[in-house]
Amino acid sequence: MGKALIIGAGGVASVAIHKCVQNSEVFEEICIASRTKSKCDELKDQLDGSKTKITTAQVDANNVDELIALINEVKPDIVMNLALPYQDLTIMDACLATKTHYMDTANYEPEDTAKFEYKWQWEYRERFEKAGITALLGSGFDPGVTGVFSAYALKHYFDEIEYIDILDCNGGDHGYPFATNFNPEINIREVSANGRYWENGEWIETEPMEIKRVYNFAEVGEKDMYLLYHEELESLAQNIPGLKRIRFFMTFGQSYLTHLKALENVGMTSIEPIEFEGKQIIPLQFLKAVLPDPASLGPRTVGKTNIGCIFRGKKDGKEKTYYVYNVCDHQECYIEVGSQAVSYTTGVPAMIGAAMILTGKWDKAGVYNIEEFDPDPFMEELNKWGLPWVEDFNPVLVDDESVKTKELELVR
């Protein structure tokens, strides 16, 4: 049916590529491109014999001209940006120049500000509309599926959604006292940044890790979770009419936080170089070298993730609550595609988002966040491609007394 140019060859790209190949009716041809072509070739070799035709290419995603030349050569129907979010804008520029659809899984951030905001990408709205092409922003799990869940809840179950809590739980255990799934710098930034949530039209800041709850997740059990800022809060606050509050919670284990804090305290997470044996060394870079390679965690991680949204609002004048979530097993993911659930839950929705555009199920010109499309076909595909969802119409709420009391008990 179509051809995709996939930029990136890391964990998420690897999952998405495995899934594209499983869905070869839609993805007749893919080209895998990244800065390091050998990584693309490795992925191609793993999928040798697939129905989908696979080619590879070298590209510097920071260079618009190189990107345009590659797109002109490959002639894809869509560019799937699965590289770092620093390259979103250059790839969007190349898509505009070549009138090619675009999608990504994380919004643009300038490399030096560490500020997640949609404004840079939203500025492309008019240009994409005029060019007659689609840019689908944030088609991972969170952002991504969480937006689809929100659109689905609104379409089928609510006249008005007043409260959304997004709950992201990773109950995985890699057996190391301490290791990080992704770049430790990003993990550290998440934990040490101020929290933020949206209420009554305003952003409310919290201290880092200030708001904590102990929540009992289906198929995982009780976990400590903390209120963080996460990028989908920005678009959902705008796209869900009548919303009074939206928050995001992520689980972190006490041991993980203790290790991170200790490393921060002694200066091992600093990005200021120090002089060591006549060389300038950045402590965080050295720490990364000492920690287990994130890629080595996959085969040894057991347990499950549970990510979903709890909605509260009104239907036919009555109060209503609705919780929809996906549970994903680290080991099952690893057996299927060679990556654990953290990459899997992002890579599968990336494939589905691109499929929505290639199949014409999502077909409108402009720049859109995922909740602005019809959620139904996407929800169907989630069940089909390994991320089945569960509905609960009587969930325990984050602010229920039982949840708050539990937290107080543990603190005492």
Q: What is the binding site for its own copies (CB under 8 A)?
A: 177-178, 258-259, 262-263, 265-268, 270, 274-277, 279, 281, 283, 286-287, 289-291
Q: How far is the CB of 287 from its own copies (least distance, A)?
A: 7
- When the beta carbons of 290 and 408 are compared against its own copies, the nearer one is 290
Q: 145 is written with which tokens?
A: 């599926």
- When the beta carbons of 138 and 294 are compared against its own copies, the nearer one is 294
- 318: number of Cβ within 10 Å: 8
Cβ contacts of residue 116 below 8 Å, gap of 6+?
Answer: 107, 109, 229, 231, 234
Q: How far is the CB of 402 from its own copies (least distance, A)?
A: 24
Q: How far is the CB of 274 from its own copies (least distance, A)?
A: 6
How far apart CA 312 and CA 10 sit, in angstroms, is 37
Q: Which residues pair with 32 in a beta bridge?
A: 6, 56
Q: How far is the CB of 62 from its own copies (least distance, A)?
A: 23
- When the beta carbons of 201 and 408 are compared against its own copies, the nearer one is 408
Q: Of 62, 58, 63, 139, which is closest to residue 101 (Cα–Cα)?
A: 139
- When the beta carbons of 196 and 259 are compared against its own copies, the nearer one is 259
Q: How far is the CB of 261 from its own copies (least distance, A)?
A: 8
How far apart CA 313 and CA 318 sit, in angstroms, is 8
Sign, CA torsion 84/90/91/92: positive
How far apart CA 350 and CA 368 sit, in angstroms, is 15
Bond prior to 143 in cis (omega within 30° of 0): yes
- When the beta carbons of 69 and 291 are compared against its own copies, the nearer one is 291
Q: How far is the CB of 188 from its own copies (least distance, A)?
A: 13
Q: Which residues pair with 57 in a beta bridge?
A: 33
Cβ 140 vs Cβ 230: under 8 Å: no
- When the beta carbons of 178 and 385 are compared against its own copies, the nearer one is 178
